[in-house]
């Protein structure tokens, strides 16, 4: 390559030469050739400057050194101009080298594609990492959900698997509501019948036409149903009209045998069938002997309009009211022992099996205790007493916590029912006590009223 004094021509020649070298050489060789060409260019530039200065000096001086002093400023100016041109040329070359090599070649052909590929790789790697992290999160949620489901299944298996001992409470109490309803019906019927008998209402057992009709009717019933030929030293056999009344003998006076011992009584005042309600008949006879043995006399109709005779009727009703308070305890006891509904017959066998665990194996003997249709009193006897006399009840407490909690809830429910029965009994006791207190204070009350009236 020939180097001239024309900077533009030199730049063009050098650029073509460098471009050819860069196209043919590898990157490292081309990079080294760039610096080599720059060094050669600088050396050639200094040679040309020296040669041009000497030629101009020789042409000017013509071997006359006296003019050297005069030509120094001109030479210095030329040197400075040449230096300025060289600096501009070198600056242009470096700028061009920066634009073409660093930006165009090194960045455009190598760094940028590499950075693009690196960006793609990093993006793909980041997406893979995000997918892996997401997979871990999904797996964590899945495992946590499965663990929760397994825990709930285990809890459900533990909590919702009732044992047979839990079912005992529900089975025994299955017909308890209907038995309680029958007891209420019996109590209401007995109280109403007692009031009608004592006040000689129409369609009652006492005939209003005569004051002794009640005694006559009861005596007729006694001869046929309750008469015991062995009573009174055998003298009572003279008036007994039936010899096959062994099942009902003396029941009109036997409170213990009729009311106290049996847990279930054959009492049914709601359309009884033939042969039913035998204990109901005996209960009516017993109540007639215990309360209002002598019925109140019938008040003649002619005395009703008389004002001074009307107090007699009020006094009679007062006596009936006081008797009804005393009778309430007896009727409540009879009502609690009233036989259950017909649906209780199917449930009776289960209670029979409970009694068999205590050693009573004969169904007839168990029927004498519980009855064929266990009453409210009999069912409460099982729920509040008999169940806990069996050691198996306490053995079955070694059960799941949920079943133990269910048993505890059932025991509390039974306890509430028992507390309500005891509360009602206390109310009746308080009523009787208040009635006794009122009777004791009656004389003093009359004396106080008389003194007030005299004043």
| Averaged pLDDT, 369-390 | 90
212 and 116 fall within a common domain = no
In a domain, 103, yes or no: yes
Q: Residue 21 has what pLDDT?
A: 43
Q: Is residue 455 part of a domain?
A: no
What percent of the chain is predicted at pLDDT more than 90?
Answer: 17
- Domain identity same for 151 and 231: no
Is residue 59 domain-shared with residue 129, that is, in the same domain? yes
The model's confidence at residue 28, banded by pLDDT at 50, 70 and 90, is very low
Pair 303, 210 in one domain: yes
- The two tokens of residue 100 are 């073409």
197 located within any domain: yes
> d(Cα 183, Cα 378) in Å, to the nearest integer?
12
Asked, for residue 411, whether it belongs to a domain, the answer is yes
Question: 68-106: string of b/e by CB count within 10 Å (b at 16+)?
Answer: eeeeeeeeeeeeeebeebbeebeeebeeebeebbeeebe
pLDDT at 30: 47
Q: Are residues 145 and 200 in the same domain?
A: no
What mean pLDDT, rounded, does the chain reach? Answer: 80
Whether residue 226 is found in the same domain as residue 322: yes
What pTM was estimated for this model as a whole?
A: 0.63
Residues 6+ apart with CB under 8 A from 407: 165, 166, 169, 397, 399
Give a yes or no: residue 1 inside a domain.
Answer: no
The torsion angle over the Cα atoms of residues 230, 235, 237 and 240, rounded to 10 degrees, is -110
Answer whether residue 88 shows pLDDT above 60: yes
First CA to last CA distance, the chain: 165
Q: What is the pLDDT of residues 241-270, one digit of tens each?
A: 877 888 888 898 999 999 988 999 989 888
pLDDT of residue 306: 85
State whether 142 and 48 are in the same domain.
yes
Domain shared by 327 and 202, yes or no: yes
* pLDDT of amino acid 427: 93
In a domain, 443, yes or no: yes
Does residue 302 belong to any structural domain of this protein? yes
Judge if 187 and 327 occupy the same domain.
yes
| Of the residues 159, 178, 209, the one at which a domain ends | 159
- The single residue listed with the structure tokens 């407490």 is 397
SS3 content of the chain, % helix, strand, coil (to 5): 75, 0, 20
Band of the pLDDT at 61, cuts 50, 70, 90? very low
One domain, residues 133 and 218:
no
Contact 370, 256 (CB under 8 A): no
Domain membership of residue 237 as a residue range: 168-448
* Residue 7 clears pLDDT 90, i.e. is over it: no
Average pLDDT over residues 29-42: 54
- Write the pLDDT tens digit of every residue in 188-224: 999 988 888 888 776 555 554 545 777 888 888 888 8
What single string gives the DSSP state of each residue in 285-310?
HHHHHHS-SSPPPPPPGGGTT-HHHH
- Which residues make Cβ contacts (< 8 Å) with residue 239, sequence separation at least 6? 223, 227
What domain count does the chain have?
Answer: 2
Are 172 and 250 in a shared domain? yes
Domain termination site, one of 134, 159, 184: 159
Residue where one domain finishes, among candidates 159, 183, 218 = 159
Contact 375, 338 (CB under 8 A): yes
Residues 47 and 79 in one domain: yes
The vertex-360 CA angle with 266 and 377, nearest 5°, equals: 35
User: CB within 8 A of 350, min separation 6: which ones?
Assistant: 171, 172
- Tell me how far apart the alpha carbons of residues 189 and 184 are, in angstroms, rounded to a whole number: 9
In a domain? residue 67? yes
The pLDDT-based confidence of 144 (bands split at 50, 70, 90) is very high
Confidence at residue 195, expressed as pLDDT on a 0 to 100 scale? 85
Q: Identify the bridge partners of residue 338 per DSSP, sorted by sequence position.
A: 265
In this structure, are residues 182 and 340 in contact, taking their beta carbons and an 8 Å threshold? yes
């Amino acid at each position: 390559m020939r180097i001239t004094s024309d900077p533009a021509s030199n730049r063009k020649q050098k650029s073509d030469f460098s471009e050819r070298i860069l196209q043919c050489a590898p990157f490292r060789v081309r990079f080294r050739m760039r610096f080599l060409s720059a060094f050669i260019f600088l050396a050639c530039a200094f040679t040309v400057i020296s040669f041009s200065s000497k030629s101009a000096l020789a042409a000017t001086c013509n071997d006359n050194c006296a003019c050297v002093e005069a030509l120094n400023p001109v030479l210095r100016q030329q040197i400075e101009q040449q230096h300025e041109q060289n600096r501009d040329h070198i600056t242009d070359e470096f700028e061009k080298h920066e634009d073409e090599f660093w930006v165009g070649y090194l960045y455009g052909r190598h760094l940028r594609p590499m950075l693009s590929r690196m960006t793609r790789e990093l993006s793909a790697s980041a997406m893979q990492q995000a997918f892996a992290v997401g997979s871990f999160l999904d797996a964590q949620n899945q495992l946590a959900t499965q663990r929760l489901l397994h825990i709930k299944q285990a809890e459900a298996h533990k909590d919702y698997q009732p044992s047979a001992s839990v079912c005992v409470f529900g089975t025994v109490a299955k017909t308890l509501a209907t038995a309680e309803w029958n007891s209420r019906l019996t109590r209401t019927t007995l109280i109403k019948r007692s009031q009608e008998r004592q006040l000689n209402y129409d369609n009652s057992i006492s005939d209003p036409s005569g004051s002794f009709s009640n005694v006559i009717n009861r005596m007729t019933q006694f001869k046929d149903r309750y008469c015991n030929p062995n009573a009174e030293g055998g003298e009572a056999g003279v008036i007994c009209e039936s010899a096959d009344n062994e099942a009902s003998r003396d029941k009109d006076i036997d409170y213990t045998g009729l009311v106290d011992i049996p847990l279930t009584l054959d009492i049914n005042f709601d359309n009884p069938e033939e042969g039913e309600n035998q204990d109901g008949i005996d209960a009516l006879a017993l109540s007639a002997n215990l309360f209002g043995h002598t019925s109140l006399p019938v008040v003649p109709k002619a005395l009703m309009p008389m004002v001074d005779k009307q107090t007699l009727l009020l006094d009679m009703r007062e006596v009936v009211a006081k008797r009804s308070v005393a009778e309430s305890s007896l009727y409540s006891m009879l009502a609690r022992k009233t036989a259950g509904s017909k649906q209780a017959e199917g449930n009776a066998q289960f209670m029979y099996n409970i009694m068999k665990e205590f050693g009573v194996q004969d169904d007839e003997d168990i029927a004498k205790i519980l009855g064929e249709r266990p009453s409210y009193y009999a069912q409460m006897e099982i729920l509040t007493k008999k169940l806990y006399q069996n050691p198996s009840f306490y053995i079955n407490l070694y059960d799941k916590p949920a079943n133990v909690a269910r048993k505890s809830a059932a025991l509390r429910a039974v306890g509430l029912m028992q507390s309500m029965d005891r509360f009602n009994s206390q109310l009746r006791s308080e009523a009787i006590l208040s009635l006794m207190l009122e009777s004791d204070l009656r004389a003093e009350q009359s004396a106080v009223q008389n003194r007030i009236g005299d004043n």
